[in-house]
Amino acid sequence: WRVLQLQIEVWILTFALQVLTGLKNVLCWQYKQMFNLNNEKKTEMKKKKPFFTPF
């Protein structure tokens, strides 16, 4: 019984780790998407009015 409990605990821990890494990956992906969108907007702004942008 003790071994079974330990196995269940290990399984729950691994499952939690998998969920956490998945969440981290999703967050990183969303952040990258947002970053890309921001960069695209900046480049579009540069193309539209190159004289007014300081960078």
**Number of C-beta neighbours around residue 48 at 10 A:** 9
User: What percentage of the chain reaches a pLDDT higher than 70?
Assistant: 78
Model confidence, pTM? 0.51
Q: What pLDDT score does 19 carry? A: 95
- Which residue's structure tokens are 């990258």? 32
Label residues 31-43 b or e (16+ Cβ within 10 Å = b): eeeeeeeeeeeee
